[in-house]
Amino acid sequence: MNDFFTFLVLSLFVVMSPGIDTALITKRTISDGRKNGYKMALGITIGSLVHTFAAAFGLSAILMQSALAFEIIKYIGAIYLIYLGLTSFISSKKKDESTQDHSNSEEKTSALKQGLFSNVLNPKVAMFFLTFLPQFVKSGKNATQQLIVMGVTYTILSITWFFLYVFFINYLRNWLMSQKVQRIMDKTTGVVLIGFGLKLAFDKQH
């Protein structure tokens, strides 16, 4: 239960942190209205489910049969979380610029399709699911079930946050998009991810 609570807390930080998904939803909502913002959010979270099932069925057999593979994936995940934390400090401006360019070039695309494809075809998202979810899997039986439950939970958290974000974006836009708030969110997320990555790296498998 403690592990699942940790998973929930870390997932909330990841979901709420500024990034490509947030920038895409912001751009679409402001330019085309709340309805398209909701569609973009829905497309992105459907993409998360695709990654969830791919990770669950691709990794479960390995995690159940090989303790060494389990440990290797844990360490890779720890390193990747630390990497995400570090980049959260330094790359927010670059992400915003690249996302704005991407959004402008595909502005005529269906919001749902754009959200879906931007998520499914993003190798960084695939890497995140392949390394993040297994951190909370208890080795042994039901690895597939554990991965699916966590992936669905992460998706529910995502769609809830994104829908709330779209709903309030017209009222809170200036505050949410201010450089000061963006910096605070980036740095807080960076500290949490780095700290959790270090904890994983030094924790022994249960």
pLDDT top residue among 26 and 47: 47
The lowest-confidence range among 34-38, 48-52, 80-84 is: 80-84
Q: How far is 184 from 196, CA to CA, in rounded Å?
A: 18
Tokens of 197: 């990555």
Rg over alpha carbons for the chain, rounded to the nearest Å, is: 17
Q: Is 133 a residue whose pLDDT tops 70?
A: yes
| pLDDT 10s digits, 144-164 | 888 889 999 999 999 999 999
Q: CA dihedral defined by 43, 48, 50, 51, rounded to 10 degrees?
A: 150
pTM of the model: 0.66
Instruction: Tell me 135's DSSP state.
Output: G
| pLDDT 10s digits, 181-201 | 777 777 777 787 788 778 767
Q: How far is 110 from 98, CA to CA, in rounded Å?
A: 20
Q: Half-sphere exposure of residue 82, counting CA atoms within 13 Å on the CB side?
A: 13
Q: What is the pLDDT of residue 76?
A: 76
Q: Is 1 a residue whose pLDDT tops 50?
A: no
Q: Is 37 a residue whose pLDDT tops 70?
A: yes
Domain ranges of the chain: 19-202
Q: Euclidean distance between the first and final Cα of the chain, in Å?
A: 14
Contact 56, 137 (CB under 8 A): no
